[in-house]
Amino acid sequence: MSEKKLTVILPREKAVSSATLVFASEAEAAEILPKLTEQGSAAAVVSDPEKWRDIPSMMEEVLTVFGEQAADFTRLYLIGGNSLSELAWTVAGAYSRVLAGCCIDGGAEHLVPVRDAKFLPIRAYAGEKQERFSAQQLIRSLRTIGSEWADFVEEEFLSSDALTWLFSQTKETQYEVHWLKPGLWSIEAGAIESFYLIEGEEKALLVDTGMNQGPVLPLVRSLTKLPVELALTHAHGDHMLHVDEFDKVYCSPREGQLPMEFLHAMMPGVSIDFTKYIPVEEGDVIDLGGVKVEVLAAYGHTPGSVVFVDHAHRCLFSGDAFGSGTGVLMAIPGTMNVSDLLESVKHFLTYQETLKDYIWYGGHRCQEFGEQKHGEYYNPLCFEVLEDFVVLCEKLLNHDETLFCEPGTNSWVTETVYTVSYQKAAMWVVKSKIC
């Protein structure tokens, strides 16, 4: 690990409630920082970006130092002073999935990276320094491509009103909606969950719900006028928090084997009643009219994890069954044994020929790019990942000790959690499940 180049400035009289990355000269930072700590925000200042090799390595350090302060990653902000507004806009675009809001004083030399900030709440100010594209032009450009959260503000930079606005932004209420192709959307909730809307001719099917605050149905209603049913890949809180908003819910009855105490802890207030859901199992077909969605078993992560295969759009939705790029979680209450996962993966591999060129959509698409790492990592789900899972499971069952080099913990189990991997396949696992 390289030596740290960043320091975090902590609020003096308040607990840390959020974290803000500040791109500013030292003189600008001297004015900005007291305003942030007053709001309970931990702050890291970059005045000399050339100290880092590139933006990903800088951001990796930023996220690491904020992580060490146990900062709330749903409330991560960016402030760009006039002297570094170009860099602030570039990072706002590249890291819009991570940031909850930003305020930037000035414009940018390059337009294209800015347009990736379409879903990020932004307030931009004129600034004194002249750039090729003014802040006002950049905001107009974002609004042209559909942003509803970008504003040009004609007042003084970082007024108390602006700070109140900035620190009220949270990933827990933000959605990104992506139109993938006619009749198919992906919806990214907060910082980490992905769910999907499929439209047939007669009805629409939502695959999972994410776990943002507030209802999800109004958003879905804004996308389709057809009746909407819900299909659950599995019964974890981050996939079914909004189940109560739907009348017709498809779910494998095997999810009833999950410990109820654990499920209630994961989603307080949600009425979880597996007897009320329409049971689905391998081979069932949900017909949306012109679009048939087939159910395939994919147990392991949970006893009733299923994959929904959309033959019209030639894609499949796999929830957490095989992870989403960083690994499958086998270290929480109710997960099955590694031998079950191996059996399940081998079974799924029998569809390799039939589903050869189908696109896979996992439950946490951001993990295709690694967790909080934004370098060159890219590991989308596909059958090759499953082939590596077979080897990984077999190595675990043969007690290959070389795998257990990364001991860790999580908040759900008392046992040591190991991160184990083989080529494209990875898993978080506890030793009691390796049988």
Dihedral, CA of residue 213, residue 218, residue 223 and residue 228, to nearest 10: 100
Minimum separation from the CB atom of position 320 to Zn ion (A)? 4
**By CB under 5 A, which span of 9-17, 230-238, 273-281, 289-297 interacts with Zn ion?**
230-238
Site string for Zn ion, 265-304 (x = CB under 5 A): ----------------------------------------
Of 72-80, 132-140, 155-163, 232-240, the segment contacting Zn ion by CB under 5 A is 232-240
Residues 306-345, interacting with Zn ion (CB under 5 A): 320
In the range 182-221, which residues lie near Zn ion by CB under 5 A? none
Surface-to-core class of residue 339, CB atoms within 10 Å of its CB (0-12 exposed, 13-18 middle, 19+ buried): middle
Query: How far apart, in whole angstroms, are the C-alpha atoms of residue 368 and residue 362?
Result: 9
Q: Are 229 and 249 a contacting pair, CB within 8 Å?
A: yes
The nearer residue to Zn ion, 101 or 363, going by C-beta atoms, is 363
Tokens linked to 66: 């904020």
**Residue of the chain from 86, 188, 238, 310 that contacts Zn ion (CB under 5 A):** 238
Is residue 236 at the binding interface for Zn ion, with CB under 5 A as the rule? yes
**Alpha carbon of 68 to those of 65, 75, 77, 401: distances in Å?**
5, 15, 16, 30
Nearer Cβ to Zn ion (171/236): 236
Closest approach of Cβ 145 to Zn ion, in Å?
29
- Cα(314)–Cα(181) distance, integer angstroms: 11
Q: Beta strand pairing status for 8-9 and 18-23?
A: unpaired
Q: Could you tell me the two tokens for 65?
A: 């130092």
Give the start-end residues of each E strand in 114-255.
Answer: 122-125, 150-152, 175-181, 184-189, 193-199, 204-207, 228-231, 249-251
List the beta bridge partners of residue 424.
Answer: none
Q: Which stretch binds Zn ion (CB under 5 A): 6-14, 25-33, 363-371, 414-422?
A: 363-371
Q: Looking at beta carbons only, is 238 or 255 nearer to Zn ion?
A: 238
Report in angstroms how near the CB of residue 312 gets to Zn ion at its nearest.
25
| Residue 206 phi, psi dihedral angles, 5° rounding | -95, 125
Q: Which is nearer to Zn ion, 60 or 320 (CB)?
A: 320
- Please report whether residue 237 would count as binding Zn ion according to CB under 5 A: no
Distance from C-alpha of 122 to C-alpha of 250, rounded to nearest angstrom = 38
Give the range of 69-77, 178-186, 359-367, 384-392 binding Zn ion by CB under 5 A: 359-367
Q: How far is the CB of 335 from Zn ion (least distance, A)?
A: 9
Closest CA to 308 of 195, 169, 419: 195
Residue 381 CA: distances (Å) to CA of 27, 36, 422: 47, 40, 14
Q: How far is the CB of 308 from Zn ion (least distance, A)?
A: 15
Query: Could you tell me which stretch among 46-54, 125-133, 237-245, 336-344 binds Zn ion (CB under 5 A)?
Result: 237-245
CB of 93 to Zn ion, least distance (A): 27
Q: Which of 80, 101, 362, 363 touches Zn ion (CB under 5 A)?
A: 363
Contact call for residue 368 and Zn ion (CB under 5 A): no
The CA distance from 303 to 117, in Å, is 39
Cβ proximity to Zn ion, 41 vs 326, nearer residue: 326
Stretch that binds Zn ion, among 103-111, 139-147, 273-281, 362-370 (CB under 5 A): 362-370
In sequence order, which residues have a C-beta less than 8 Å from that of residue 186 and are 6 or more positions away?
177, 178, 180, 194, 195, 196, 361, 365
Size of the site for Zn ion (CB under 5 A): 4
**Closest distance of CB 194 from Zn ion, Å:** 9
Restricting to residues 45-64, which ones interact with Zn ion according to CB under 5 A?
A: none
Rounded CA separation 255/73 (Å): 30
Indicate the residue among 170 and 324 with the shorter CB distance to Zn ion.
Answer: 324
Residues of the shown chain interacting with Zn ion in the complex, contacts defined by CB under 5 A: 236, 238, 320, 363
